[in-house]
Structure 1
Amino acid sequence: MRFLSFCTSAAWAAPAAAAALAVGDRQSRLVGSTKHDNDYDLDPSATFSFAGITTFARLPQVQCLMESGPVDDILVLGFPFDTATSFRTGTRFGPNAVRQGSRAATLAGLYNYRQSINPYVQNISIVDCGDLPISPFDNGLAFAQMEDWYKRLLWREVKSAEKGIRSSKTGRVHPQIVAIGGDHSISLPILRALNTVYGKVSTIHIDAHIDTWSPKVFAGAKAGSKQAEFADGTPYYWAGMEGLLTTTNVHAGIRSSLDSEKDMDLDAEMGFTTIPAWEMLKRDGVWGVIDKIRAVVPHDKPVYVSLDVDSLDPAFVPGTAGPASGGWTPREIIQIIIDGLEGLNIVGVDVVEVLPSLDQAEITGIAAAEFTIELITRLVRNRIGQ
């Protein structure tokens, strides 16, 4: 019986194996097996959005601070600094989280469907300069480092001067730097550096918080600490006091609590018009907010744009240092970038306060990367007259 069973099994095994081989052969041809296709790609430059060294939007990485000669036209620059934060720490890891988020944001390619352009093929060179070396131990030193490094890049010659932003103060074209933070205190050394080239600038500050608080609001400053006077809630106070700003500045998205009603009086002294978050709920919605921004900020003077991801509701950005409920949506922020910044003389931007250790599924990093891509695209479109 065992012999008969073996024979019977053997009798069935041969045709079954042949059938399996036939099916496998047919399937291999269907999926393009290399056995039947000698034209497969071995291009070593081919890559996928999930592979390779992480740079922002898969841009070339250049050691900008170590090179001499003309720099590229638009520079992505990380500011891994968070020791001036007043609440959650960890935004020093923000630059790399935004770079990682840009993998998903450029999943299908680099053509910007929202703005109907590929910003990277417009004869305007864009690179990722990596991160600045910033001390995490001494804030006074860190602020000096940020200003000095930024200034060194800002004063370099650029590759496409005919399409750049020309300074009436220096008579030349300077690179546009897209800074990725880091906590919001990085805006102050950036504005100090920009002042050497452009003089006073107007600021579009998109945030849940005013960031013009008097240093006396912060506990360390009340105790007499000079270093504590420079924090993530004071950059625009100091920018106003140091004469870095015009009187045509905008806060957009404000909704956080205040120390007192006097905070807004001081804010007005710094030259800011405030658009609270609830303006978005009015009948004209995002278009009303855009109109208010454009009514305040001059179109022919230097403008700096600062985007704090906590301007969004925490539902969209759980990984941020200062969450505040009742914020905007990514769609509304993107529309402000596309239409609110159209035609403006933007001399620099920052995207700040991404805190990846509290993020879920990279949604904050992806949102920040999307905003950065839209900002870069808007810079390019403004340069070429779109």
Structure 2
Amino acid sequence: MKNQSELLSQNLGVDVSKDSLDVTFSTMDVQRQVKVKASRKFFNTLNGFKQLQKWMESKRVKDVELRILMEATGIYYEQFAWFLYEKEYTVSVILPTKAKRYLQAIGNKSKNDKIDAKGLAQMGLEQRLPLWQPLSKNIYRLRLLTRQLEDFNNQRTVFLNQLHALSHGAYAVKEVEKSLKKLVKELEKSIAQLEKSIEKLITEDEALSSKVEKILSIKGVGLKTIAVLLAETNAFATFENQGQLVSYSGYDIIENQSGQKTGKSRMSKKGNAHIRRAMHMPAFGVVRNKVSPFVSLHERLLGRGKTKMQAYVAVQRKLLILIWALWNKNESYDPEYNQKEKNTSSNDEPKLLFSLGSEGDKKQVAPADTEATQDELPCKESPEVLFSLEQS
């Protein structure tokens, strides 16, 4: 092991999965040469954390900076990040898309947990990444409440669709109908309780309530939408710029162009589907209430031959960015400001004109399957499971 004077820094790269932590311990010397010292796998449990800490301490050089880097892999990184935070280690957590782009840039063509951990360790040595800040108690509670609310609304939609199908069947089965109605009634009761809990939590938190009240100045955006955004983004603390927020939410655009070939651009959808679903209803709301500049954007895209869903998704993206800006500036919405800035906003317009095909015009009654989101929780893209609330 190099002595203290020969080392600039040390880093532990951690690739997190549901059950395990793949780690690589690397160092950088004064010539800025990166060297892998050791790699190992541990269980993603409290006992595994303690074993990892003991192993890491046996490898590190005292009095030389040690930083730990991991991806924000759903919820599975949180317990380990909290463990390190409480032990006063220097921890950074980055979005998966940022890690992926770095690994591609250094020429990693293969992908597995060990390779990812090695790449993260090198990235942590070469870049000065922001330090991780854990969720506050109220934001953590808010996330649990909003996700449970989403899940109950999903279940309610499924049962209502089953009742609808049952009513059109060849034979009526009273026992099944009675059971389904009972389940729907219980879910509606639980949904109402969760909605009250969400409102109470935000109202009683002065730091949250004052800013939320200002965002509610956007006619068409409701409290539960804002609650989801705050819960899923740690009150937007994770993001340095709007591009990171757009990418994290899955609204970033993937272009398909090479030489003379120009294919269709599309939205990646590789991000937090909870956010995209929460933005669905307010996009309709701001257009219905003729809020500037969203109604003009919607009409302009329709006039250029875009589908209704393409236009509404463009509105979702623009509205998300506006909410992020208002939150950071602690300001209320000013429609006149958007009129003054309309020339600069046109620079973003080409990125909004992505192709989603014709699926947006087809109304889905019952979600047939689920897809894994960034946090591996089931999320359906059907509009029918979006909170079932009227945005005021």
Which TM-score tier does this pair reach, normalised by the shorter chain?
Answer: under 0.3
Structure with max Cα Rg = 1
Q: What is the TM-score with the length of structure 2 in the denominator?
A: 0.26
